[in-house]
Amino acid sequence: MNPQVADDDANNDRSFATILSDTKEELKQFVGTRIAMLKTETGEKLKILKVAGPLAIAGLLLLLTAFLLFTVALVGLVFAFLPDNSYRLCLAFLAVAVLWSILGGIAAYFAKREFETKELLPNKTIGVLKDDGLWIQSEVKKPL
């Protein structure tokens, strides 16, 4: 007897419940693998954030303090160079505010561009899931 024919007979003898049970187990394994991938990739990103987060907060706090002190010094410098006028303190603050607005707009533009180029999503997992979706579609289209 031909081994291929015997194998086909064995597959035909499987009940519908057995096929559904096998499919269910394969689907559980498939989903479990994808969830494990997502957890691993997310965990790696969280480890980086746990280290970088406090450092970023400390850095921002120190930079904010330096910014405020620098602003007061700059306002004092502009104030000293303005001619005697009852509004010269206001004009000094206004000049510094315009300067910071221009620099802040430039920084925001570059930050926006940087966020657009780098995503925080788990791209590996998403790519694998897209490939899996294409594979499932191709399998469904195959004739039995």
| Cα atoms found within 13 Å of the Cα of residue 144, Cβ hemisphere only | 3
- Find the range with the poorest average confidence among 40-44, 48-52, 85-89, 96-100: 48-52
Among residues of the chain, what percentage have pLDDT more than 90? 29
Tokens of residue 95, six digits: 């000049």
CB 125 within 8 A of CB 41: yes
CA 9 to chain CA mean position, Å: 51
pLDDT greater than 90 at residue 134: no
Q: Is 134 helix (H, G, I), strand (E, B) or coil?
A: helix
Please provide the DSSP assignment of 31-70 as one string. HHHHHHHHHHHHHHHHHHHHHHHHHHHHHHHHHHHHHHHH
pLDDT in tens, 114-131: 877 766 677 777 888 888
Residue 74 pLDDT class (50, 70, 90 cuts) = very high
Residue-level pLDDT at 94: 93
21: domain range?
A: 3-141
Residue-level pLDDT at 117: 75
Residues 12-32, mean pLDDT to the nearest whole number: 83
Residue 1 pLDDT class (50, 70, 90 cuts) = very low
Whole-number Å distance between alpha carbons of 127 and 10? 37
Give the total number of structural domains in the chain. Answer: 1
Residue-level pLDDT at 69: 94
pLDDT greater than 60 at residue 7: no
pLDDT greater than 90 at residue 23: no
pTM of the full predicted structure? 0.46
